[in-house]
Structure 1
Amino acid sequence: MRKIPFLTLLAAGAIASFTPLTNVHAAGISVGVPADVQTMEPNGASTDSNLSVMANIFDGLLQRDASGKLIPALAESWERVDALTWRFKLRQGVKFQNGNDFTADDVIFSFKRIATPELSAFVNFGKQIESVTTVDGDPWTVEVKTVVPVPFFDQNLHQIFMMDKESTENRKPGDVGQHPIGTGAYSLAEWVKGSHVKLKANPNYWEGAPEIKEATIRPAVEGSTAMASIMSGTVDVLQGVPVEGVKVLEKNPKLTLVKRPARRAIFLGLTNAKGKPGADLRVREAIAHAINEEKIIQKVMFGFAAPAAQVSDPATVGYNPAIKRAKYDPELSRKLLAEAGYPNGFDITLSGPNNRYVNDEKILAAVAADLAKVGIKVKVDAKPKSIIFDEYKQHKPEFYLLGWFDGSYDFGRSFAKLLHTYDETKGTGTWNAANYSNPELDAIAEKASNTIDPKERAKVLQELGVKLQDAFGFIPLHYQMDLYAITNAKGFDFKPRPDTWIVFKQIGKKG
């Protein structure tokens, strides 16, 4: 089927087909998001779309404020006692939405549950926990011991949500995944998969009842559909404005466009398995020099991206500002390929999603075109994320595109997932799609994991970043830009979060 250009759809009146639903959400807020929620099992999916919804219904021991800073939530305070031990002082007087009290039993239950594969997307995190107990008979102090040192353990706890032990044990998992019961600022009013999620404010929330009393979340995956939803008034806030539509929205006096540099880096990965072209460092470097990233940013991303020299972003522990990206130099690329024994290039398949990142399929095509200019003949294998990510987890690709930002704000965790040699027992390399392996880099990462002092650990991770660049373990492309459109009529005071979550208790009214 022939694809109709995005802007042609707008000009043809695609927006007119949307009936404004202003009266439906007049008492609250309606938000359009790029992807639907997958499950109401609080720790059952690790996607941004799922975590964002769960953060409204549930709380973790810790939370992040609108700037990304880690602050108390169901734990009033916390400390790292030693390399393996973390201690949390629990908040008293908190109730679940069914009226049950929040206690240490719920914490112990929740941590045990995330180690259950069929119920949790955080199994590897759960496996790092050896025990969870109360301390010296104090029911409001919980101690967590890990199997090995996990220096970023606390940095994950805003996205590990606490569950009501009693009601969860008395229900089937399928029911838990449909009818959530949390301690959060909102409870679930209705979920029609593929259509919307409706939330209602929790009047007994421990931080106080939120200002926004009702919230509706509507998935609008396709570009013209998303544009139509904000321009017709179907939604008050649109997350993920298509880059092609920015100029259209900027001209609309009823809307405000909000831009925020994103934490997510888009990058390429390549196997270094023996016998493959990527086993030669010169080939990896040649690919890096062959890609005209500035052109991709201008032509594919419409200027709404920033060149990346590393996968970490400035907010991440281990980010190294001294690292510079490889310059675009196709002549040097050809020279390196010839030195590596590929004067006429080689054939390779580049895998990637076609519905996950901003213009991801077009990025794949642009990379393929650049590599063709230096003799590397690329076959693009673009598939829906539900298919391609399964292939990544099975380590099938030789060459692939992925996007990443670390929810724990820690490069050590990123490396462990993305590039550490795959080890099912240790839980490393789970997203190392091409089975890259570099024992020297692994050793530095493990040194960082065993370094308790935060400043010293950051230095080790920065060293890891330099060594990683020297090895061309990743080929970074760019950081996306988060784009939102907000209707002016209701006067919402909306500020995008670094993690892209939309947390309704943090949204108020101007004035």
Structure 2
Amino acid sequence: MRFIIGPVLALGLSAALAPARAAEITVALSAAPTSSDPHFHDLGPNNALMHQLYGTLVRTDATLHPVPDLALSWKLLDDHTWSFSLDPDAKFSDGTPFTANDVVFSLCRTIRGVGPTHSFTSVPLAMATVETPDAHTVILHTRQPEPLMPIQLAGFAIISAHAAGAGHIDFNPDNQCGLVNLPPSSAFDTLKLSVGTGRYRLARYTSGDTIVMEPNQYHHGAPARWSRVTFKAVPNSGARVAGLLSGDFDLIENPSAQDLPALKAHGGLAWTVTPSNRLIFLQPDIGRDKTPLVQTADGRNPLQDPRVRQALSLAIDRQAITTRLMEGLATPADQFVPPPLFGFLPNPPKLGYDPARARALLAEAGYPNGFALTLSATNNRYIDDSQVAQAIGQYLTRIGIKTTVDAMTQTVFFPRRTKREFSLSMGGWGYGTGEASNLLRYFVVGPLPARGLGRSNYGGYHSAAFDAVFTKAIDEMNDERRRDELYQAQTIALHDNALIPLYWETSLWAYKDRYSFTGRMDQRTDVDGLKPKAN
């Protein structure tokens, strides 16, 4: 039995001083990370922080193309085997070397799940065995063919085995590699285990409020641009804009479209607009005969009827929401995957606005007088999320579905959604892998715990036809066959309204005009994307 005896003290500072860096900056976040533990929750704000502090074997560039990070190269040995050659010069922020043992430790730590949703189990659960023939080589033997393994690893943080007090580890998923007393997430928030290989190291973490990063002097690669970065969580868009106007913030996330005239009139400010791949969608509770936040005369769950779900989709004017409410900073969605990501449908079915047809479908389903439901949404996670939820509530009410909108903070919403307390919720998903299977493997496929699939299928959707073709697709090594199978899977899910696509967000950042800023398709705020302009 192998024991983790607790975190070790960081090494003293002995390396040479880093080159001179630009000044300190303060960044206003639209939503705070829920933990500094990189394995806690696969959530946009958490992932953005993770990528500043930790390395991954593979990372993605601003357009989601895979590039080397802690692995300098990789190759497919056979359909079940990937080999990764690791960077021999990489070090953690405490000065200790990064080795293959840290990869094994990270896989072992997450295999039974960390955090409220066990978000990162799919990678370790895909492994049959893991070999480490030397300190700088990792060979992953997968249970099924995994054509997307390198890009799936782009979202999987590597943490330090040494910082957790672990010695040599052999991959043995049956007993979590013999590890006991695994480090809790709170140990990262208190900095005891916040030891990564990223450009920055964590200097202070106050949950829901302030995060401070400083350069990681041991980072092997392009140095950190800033001498100190302070993140402030400011959920209210107006408050973020006010802070930028007053000079308190150098960069802010997600000002609303309505704020742009004020920014322009003020002067001395600039903004960057970047198309994103984040889909905003409705997730209906399909799997339960009774659902908690719907009231019908007979007590049944009307969302189980495909005609009702089709009525929900037809009731919503996506074009009006994106052009009027969001002033063009979103694009109506007619499928789950935006072009040009791999697997997008070239000729998707048109998701039109037809309230008369929606009312007729409700009548056909046995609800001529409609019913009542609650639409659950966030009010500080997505761009204009609360306002959009209110607009959708009005559209549904017009066809006879008396809708109450309950918009709450993300820290309340996500735990409640995990407990399946909602009947109809509004959520979002950004494609970290740049490929169609990404959303479907979490939110649509029937739960397959042994493979870590379907962990976010909170609506309980199940289709044998979808599951059969989708699981075949994610195991298919041939790109053309995989694309065809993903077409089939998406067509089934769209027809069933397993999720109801609404629109793709466009990302917006505003900043002092003495800087330039490069946005990312995945909406991640990379502080080193902010650059001082040349004098």
Matches within 5 A, 1:305-454: 305-454=330-479
Letter in 1 for 2:72: E
Q: Which deviates more from structure 2 when the two are superposed, residues 212-221 or residues 443-452? A: 212-221
The answer for the alignment partner of 1:220 in structure 2 is 234
- 1:436 and 1:208, CA in 2 relative to 1: closer, same or farther beyond 3 A? closer
In the TM superposition, what whole-angstrom CA distance separates every residue of 1:237-276 from its partner, at most 9, and x where no partner exists? Answer: 1111123312211223200121112221111122334653
Who is 2:520 aligned against? Answer: 497
Which residue of 2 is the match for residue 261 of structure 1?
275
Q: Shift of residue 143 of structure 1?
A: 0.6
One of 301, 322, 329 as aligned partner of 1:276: 301
Distance 1:167 1:272 in 2: 44
**CA separation of 1:84 and 1:178: change in aligned 2, threshold 3 A:** farther
Question: Match of 1:476, SS?
Answer: strand
Q: Which residue is 1:59 aligned to?
A: 55
Letter in 2 for 1:509: P
Contact 1:61 1:73 in 2 (8 A): yes
1:151 to 147, 153, 166: 147
Q: Distance in 1 between matches of 2:188 and 2:411?
A: 23
SS in 2 for 1:157: helix
Match status 1:130 vs 2:128: yes
The answer as to 2:209 corresponding to 1:186 is no
Aligned residue for 1:210?
224
Q: Do structure 1's residue 196 and structure 2's residue 210 form an aligned pair?
A: yes
Aligned counterparts of 1:506 and 1:296: Cα–Cα separation in 2: 30
Q: Deviations over 1:398-452 (max 9, x none)?
A: 3221111222223223112111223444433222222122211111111102211
Q: Measure how far apart 1:357 and its partner are.
A: 1.9
Output one character per residue of 1:149-195: Cα deviation in whole Å (capped at 9) or x when no partner: 33322212222122221122269544344221111111223334444
CA drift of 1:484 comes to: 0.7
Which aligned segments of 4 or more residues in structure 1 are displaced greater than 6 angstroms?
Answer: none
Q: Report the alpha carbon displacement of residue 507 of structure 1 after superposing the two structures with TM.
A: 4.1
Matches of 1:340 and 1:144, distance apart in 2: 50
Q: Distance in 2 between matches of 1:38 and 1:333?
A: 39
Identify the residue that residue 481 of structure 1 maps to in structure 2.
506
CA apart distance, 1:346: 2.7
Q: 1:71: how far off?
A: 0.1
CA distance 1:450–1:229, change in 2 (3 Å): same
User: Kindly tell me: are residues 149 and 276 of structure 1, through their superposed partners in 2, closer, same or farther at Cα, counting changes over 3 Å?
Assistant: farther
- Which residue matches 1:18? none
Aligned equivalents of 2:165, 2:149: Cα separation in 1:
26
1:237 and 2:258 aligned: no
Cα deviation digits, residues 348-400 of structure 1 (max 9, x gap): 33222233222323222222221222222223333332233223222333322
Contact 2:25 2:226 in 1 (8 A): yes
From the superposition, tell whether residues 44 and 283 of structure 1 become closer, same or farther in structure 2 (CA, over 3 Å).
closer
The alpha carbon displacement at 1:308 in A equals 0.7
The equivalent position to 2:187 in structure 1, one of 169, 175, 197, is 175
Q: Please, which of 295, 298, 301 is the counterpart of residue 320 of structure 2? A: 295
CA–CA distance in 2 between the matches of 1:327 and 1:175?
Answer: 49
In the superposition, relative to structure 1, how do residues 380 and 203 fare at CA in structure 2: closer, same or farther (>3 Å)?
closer
In the other structure, the counterpart of 2:93 is 97
Give the 3-state SS of the residue equivalent to 2:163 in structure 1. Answer: helix
CA distance in structure 2 between the partners assigned to 1:229 and 1:116 by the alignment: 42
2:370 counterpart SS class? coil
User: Deviations 1:267-319 (Å, cap 9, x if unpaired)?
Assistant: 11223346532333222222211111222224432332110112222253322
Alignment partners' CA distance in 2, 1:253 and 1:493:
15
Residue 115 of structure 1 contacts residue 126 of structure 1 at CA under 8 Å; is this kept in 2?
Answer: yes
Does the 8 Å contact 1:229/1:235 carry over to 2? yes
Give the Cα separation in 2 of the matches to 1:419 and 1:186. Answer: 36
- Which secondary structure does the structure 2 equivalent of 1:251 belong to? helix
Which digits, 9 at most, give the CA deviation of each residue in 1:180-219, with x for residues without a partner? Answer: 1111111223334444322222344211423333322222
Name the residue aligned to 1:4: none
Distance 2:196 2:386 in 1: 38
* 1:34 and 2:30 aligned: yes
* Whole-angstrom distance in 2 between the partners of 1:42 and 1:473: 29
* Contact 2:34 2:208 (C-alpha < 8 Å) held by counterparts: no
Structure 1's 303 and 208: CA in aligned 2 closer, same or farther, altered over 3 A?
closer
Per the normalisation by structure 2, the TM-score is 0.84
Q: Any unmatched runs of 5+ in structure 2?
A: 1-20, 167-181, 290-299
Q: Distance in 2 between matches of 1:451 and 1:217?
A: 42
Return the letter of the residue paired with 1:493.
Answer: S
* C-alpha contact (below 8 Å) 1:393/1:432 kept by paired residues: no
Decide whether the 8 Å contact of 1:368 with 1:380 is kept in 2: yes
Residues 272 and 366 of structure 1: CA distance in aligned 2, closer, same or farther (over 3 Å): same
Alpha-carbon distance in 2 for matches of 1:78, 1:320: 30
- What is the SS of the residue equivalent to 1:400? strand
Does structure 2 retain, via aligned residues, the 8 Å contact 1:400–1:434? Answer: no
Query: Normalising by structure 1, what TM-score?
Result: 0.88
User: Aligned partners of 1:88, 1:35: CA distance in 2, in Å?
Assistant: 35
RMSD: 2.4
